[in-house]
A = this chain, B = another copy of it.
Amino acid sequence: MIMTRDRTFTLAVDALKEAGLRPTRQRVQLLHLLRAGGNRHLSADDLAREAKKIGLSVSLATVYNALNQFTQSGLLREVVIAPGISYFDTNIGPHHHFYFEEERRLQDIPVDAVSVSDLPPAPMGTKVARVEVVIRLESEQK
């Protein structure tokens, strides 16, 4: 008799299929983990560490591969902050970012909280892939 399957990962599996990525164990688990806990900004290392903590067996190379593939497929968005500091953002809708320099932390800004208008046209032969707004914050004390 066919048992009802575990539905825990159905969403992740579907998302991967739709993105044209094979729903391998590692990718499914990582995507599921990424999507747990709302919108987040994680480094590759953060994700690898989280995965390890909950007992997933995934190599660091695979974490990098998966994050890059997810980003390319539009399942994630990458925000690069400084040489050697980059975060993957699970919020893929249009929005912007505050960056707290001291804390090295990102925070989403809803897209309607900033208006970017009168964009110059994309130069000939190109099209806009993305408009990125980062507001860098420093502690107020002088």
- A-to-B contact residues, CB < 8 Å: 80-84, 86, 98, 100-101, 107, 109, 113-120, 122-123, 125-140
Residue from B81, B117, B127 within 8 A of A117 (CB atoms) = B117
- Which residues of B are found within 8 Å of A138, using beta-carbon distances? 126-127, 129
Residue from B81, B114, B125, B133 within 8 A of A139 (CB atoms) = B125
* A116 B114 Cβ-Cβ under 8 A: yes
* A133 B136 Cβ-Cβ under 8 A: no
* B118 A115 Cβ-Cβ under 8 A: yes
- Which residues of B are found within 8 Å of A98, using beta-carbon distances? 122-123
Nearest to A81 among chain B residues (CB) is B80
Nearest to A110 among chain B residues (CB) is B120
* A120 B109 Cβ-Cβ under 8 A: yes
* B132 A128 Cβ-Cβ under 8 A: no
- Which residues of B are found within 8 Å of A119, using beta-carbon distances? 113-114, 135
* A114 B118 Cβ-Cβ under 8 A: yes
Nearest to A118 among chain B residues (CB) is B115
A71 to chain B minimum Cβ distance, whole angstroms, is: 11
* A126 B137 Cβ-Cβ under 8 A: yes
* B133 A137 Cβ-Cβ under 8 A: no
A115 to chain B minimum Cβ distance, whole angstroms, is: 5
- Which residues of B are found within 8 Å of A130, using beta-carbon distances? 135-136
